[in-house]
């Protein structure tokens, strides 16, 4: 039954992402077609994905966040945040990448079952810390995708090639505004994550956590400097793009880089 559910969810993810790609490719001025259909398919996918996660991640023994389970959960949450934001903000084009990514993480999670109980039942402060951390990661991952799209848009405009798919996305200033809204929200959540880690974890600088902690604080510092630079000096354009991608690179290494090395290479659980 799980195989059928996950297969259907992956198909809906891919259909939704494909329709958004077609919609963007056919963009012509303001006539870019409705985003309602692709978003509805996306919501169907995340609901089915959630049914899988309810069995694989939220287990009676506790929160199971082995590498591929964590990847699947993160892919799901990225798309939940994206679809919710797309209902009120013009960010649906990020789904061209995020939705297929959700399908990929779901398939990997089902194909390579991993088990690592990171929080026993009743440890709600630790579970809350972990969930906020993944939510912060999801928001900042979307910010990184937005930065890549902004970089493409900026490059095309500099080369005086404003046509094509650029007609289907918001103006450059609006794209930058959306980028900093994502970074601001992600920075707040990342700050809460680090603070809750100091409060709820016995030793946040323990040997198996120190690399994750240090890289997370570096990412926090990068995003903090970027927000300060935006407020103080009006940083934008390529400067904002570089700082955003650098901050996300440190964050990705902090979480999935460390899990990859510890769990899949060194096999330390």
Give the model's pLDDT for residue 206. 58
Q: Residue 136 — pLDDT band, cuts 50, 70, 90?
A: very high
244 in the same domain as 127: yes
Residue 207: both structure tokens together: 């040997």
Give the other-Cβ count within 10 Å of 135's Cβ.
Answer: 21
Q: What is the mean pLDDT of residues 258-263?
A: 77
Q: Residue 29 — pLDDT band, cuts 50, 70, 90?
A: very low
Q: Residue 264 — pLDDT band, cuts 50, 70, 90?
A: confident
- 9-23, 127-141, 189-203, 253-267: lowest mean pLDDT where? 253-267
The answer to whether 79 and 98 are in contact (CB under 8 A) is yes
Residue 139: both structure tokens together: 């928001």
153 in the same domain as 58: no
CA–CA gap between residue 268 and residue 212 (Å, rounded) = 15
Give the other-Cβ count within 10 Å of 258's Cβ.
Answer: 19
Where is the domain boundary, 64, 91, 121? Answer: 121
Name the percent of the chain lying above pLDDT 90.
61
142 in the same domain as 266: yes
Q: Residue 3 — pLDDT band, cuts 50, 70, 90?
A: confident
For residue 87, what are the domain limits? 1-121
74 in the same domain as 166: no
219 in the same domain as 105: no
| Residue pLDDT, tens place only, 56-112 | 998 887 788 889 999 999 999 999 999 999 999 989 999 999 999 999 999 999 998
DSSP secondary structure, 112-123, as one string: S----EEE-TT-
129 in the same domain as 116: no
| Residue pLDDT, tens place only, 206-254 | 555 678 889 999 999 999 999 999 999 999 999 999 999 999 999 999 9
CA–CA gap between residue 95 and residue 142 (Å, rounded) = 9
The pLDDT of residue 159 is above 70: yes
Q: How many domains is the chain built from?
A: 2
166 in the same domain as 104: no
132 in the same domain as 251: yes
Give the model's pLDDT for residue 268. 63
**Between 44 and 29, the higher pLDDT residue:** 44
Give the model's pLDDT for residue 269. 53
Give the model's pLDDT for residue 265. 73
Give the model's pLDDT for residue 13. 98
138 in the same domain as 111: no
């Amino acid at each position: 039954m799980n195989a059928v559910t996950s297969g259907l969810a992956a198909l809906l993810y891919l259909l939704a992402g494909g329709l958004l790609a077609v919609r963007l490719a056919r963009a012509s001025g303001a006539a870019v077609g409705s985003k309602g259909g692709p978003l509805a398919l996306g919501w169907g996918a995340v609901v089915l994905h959630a049914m899988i996660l309810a069995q694989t991640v939220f287990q009676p023994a506790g929160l199971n966040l082995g590498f591929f389970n964590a990847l699947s959960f993160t892919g799901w949450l990225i798309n939940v945040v994206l679809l919710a934001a797309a209902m009120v903000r013009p960010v649906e084009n990020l789904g061209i990448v995020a939705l297929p990514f959700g399908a990929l993480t779901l398939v990997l999670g089902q194909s390579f079952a991993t088990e690592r109980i990171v929080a026993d039942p009743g440890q709600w402060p630790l579970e809350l810390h972990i969930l906020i951390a993944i939510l912060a990661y999801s928001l900042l991952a979307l910010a990184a995708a937005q930065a890549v799209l902004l970089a493409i848009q900026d490059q095309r405009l500099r080369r005086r090639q404003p046509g094509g798919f650029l007609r289907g996305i918001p103006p450059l200033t609006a794209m930058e505004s959306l980028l900093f809204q994502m970074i601001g929200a992600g920075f707040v959540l990342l700050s809460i994550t680090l603070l809750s880690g100091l409060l709820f974890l016995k030793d946040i600088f323990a040997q198996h956590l120190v690399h994750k902690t240090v890289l997370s604080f570096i990412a926090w510092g990068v995003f903090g400097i970027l927000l300060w630079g935006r407020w103080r000096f009006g940083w934008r354009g390529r400067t904002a793009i570089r700082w955003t991608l650098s901050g996300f690179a440190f964050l990705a290494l902090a979480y999935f880089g460390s899990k990859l090395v510890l769990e899949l290479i060194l096999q330390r659980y």
